[in-house]
Copies of this chain bind each other. A is one copy, B any other.
Amino acid sequence: MNIDQLIKANHSRNYFSFYNENPKSYDENQMNLGLETFQKQLNNNFYISNLSAVEFEGEEVSPYMMTGLGIHYPKINVSTLLENASSTLESWKNVSIDIKLSILQNSLECVKERFFELAFATMHTTGQSFLMSFQASGPHACDRALEVLASAYEQLNYYPKNVEWVKNFGKFDLKLQKNYKSIPKGVSLIIGCSTFPTWNSVPGIYASLITGNPVIVKPHPKAVYPIAIFVEEIRKELIKNGLSADIIQIGVDTTANPITKLLAESDIVKLIDYTGGNEFGDYIESLGKICFTEKAGINSVIIESCADFDKVAQNLAFSMSLYSGQMCTAPQNIYISKDGVKTDNGHLSYDDCIQKINDAFSQLLNNPKAASPTLGAVQNENTLNRVLNTLKNNNANVIQFDANVINEEFPDARIVKPILVELSSNQSGEFEKECFGPISFIIKTSSLEESLNLASNSAQKYGAITCLAYSIDKEIMQLIEDKMNSVYTPVSFNFVGAAFVNQHAAFSDLHVSGGNPSGNATFTTTEFINKRYTWIGNRYML
């Protein structure tokens, strides 16, 4: 895990991964050990090093078992969290970048030892499948952390620590000793979400820590366990290095007594990383602090032409079904012209396209080996109700699939089949809002131009994290790319087979552009790092 190698990978954007995403590549007994550890944790207090709490609380529920996990976490007062964080400001600031790097890299290595426990923790809080839980919370999150560390290490060494500045004035030299320091902004608050408790929070945590800012993690009360593992492993590394464990803390709250606003509004908190819904995200952005938000977006699919529509339909069915549409990168609105779609196998009418998409969904949902692992479970009741209400209110336009999806391992799992809603382009009131979960809209437009206008206007007004487009015409691809890029939305073209728009790979894909209302920040770009400190240059007369 040589830092120069990571920096190189960070710039090259070619495929790079340090942590293997394949569970089978790990020691055989790790799976059972992880499961065992997870099971032992159930109905027990979660241990956090160097923390003596009087009260414990927790309210996580497994979307698979539909029972509470019974794990309770130390309850710490907001004022204590803030005081503890403040008390570590000076000491953490003064730790050298190389030692900070080593502590943080080691913490990832320790998390690696718990990848399987982490996978079960993620699965039974988020409802992700085991494989997604393993990959997203473990190796993918750790790779994103490494990417941030590489970027930060480079940025923090952008200026030299010291330089002797010599200006010749002809008759004499003026000599000044100058130093350059990155001064951290202060206490950093990381607000987690319930669907990706580590993947979305880990970059901000590692970015704030490497730049010298103490961190308070405020996880979603329904998804604490996964990120608590990271916090604990970082604390252990800090202790090993003779530092205060409170350089990172976790502030667990409950739905009934939330503490997020108390933390966010405190003068002590200078930086906020937030993943979650728009309303709260807008509130966070309104606080006037330095913030990094990933809010909701409406992701579009534009289909103009393709080689093989069957493959397109399969790809869409999978992308929209994956984790029941609970990914921030999941497509929601599919725009197809009323004139249909050109393919290498001839022209398809609009209705042909709908039929093929339906077929692909039906096939996926009727494949018992694929259906349940693809859908995972629904993280919360609201998402389930959104589907049920849509079914109730839009009978005429809603496409339901004739399939009986069951999860044999967890018969009580909260699962629901994805639905498609057919709309025309003048029903923007229906489709120009985010419908989080397994609801997608197919929108019949008058032309490619209208499709593109709707997709780009929606991205500009309501935000978008991704756009998926199908075209075999180079000029049209360029047109789509330019138009969507102009509203700061990246485009993925002609994804079929193993390429899915949902997936953003560390060291290659940027995540959230920061240029539209889906969020003001992007993981991995230098801004994600540089806003967390201020460069100061001092000068000494020699």
Contacts and interface: CB of A to CB of B under 8 A. Distances in A.
Interface residues of A, number: 61
Interface string A492-515: 111111110000010011100111
A477 B481 CA distance: 55
- For A159, A486, A536, the residue with the greatest tally of chain B CB atoms inside 10 Å of its CB is A536
A471 B80 CA distance: 38
B534 A515 contact: yes
Contacts of A159: 11, 13
B495 A541 contact: yes
Nearest to A470: B541
A158 B11 contact: yes
- State the oligomeric state as a number of copies: 2
Contacts of A163: 12-14, 508
B534 A514 contact: yes
A142 B461 CA distance: 40
A541 B498 CA distance: 10
Interface string A15-43: 10000000000000000000000000000
Contact of A538 (B485, B505, B526, B538): B485
Nearest to A466: B539
A490 interface: yes
Contact of A15 (B165, B180, B531, B537): B165
Given A166-B14, A540-B493, A498 B183 contact: no
A21 B534 CA distance: 30
Interface string A475-494: 00100010001101111111
A11 B160 contact: yes
A176 interface: yes
Given A11-B160, A180-B13, A493-B539, A513 B499 contact: no
Interface of A: 11-15, 155, 158-160, 163-169, 172, 174, 176, 178, 180-181, 183, 185, 477, 481, 485-486, 488-499, 505, 508-510, 513-515, 522, 525-527, 530-531, 534-541
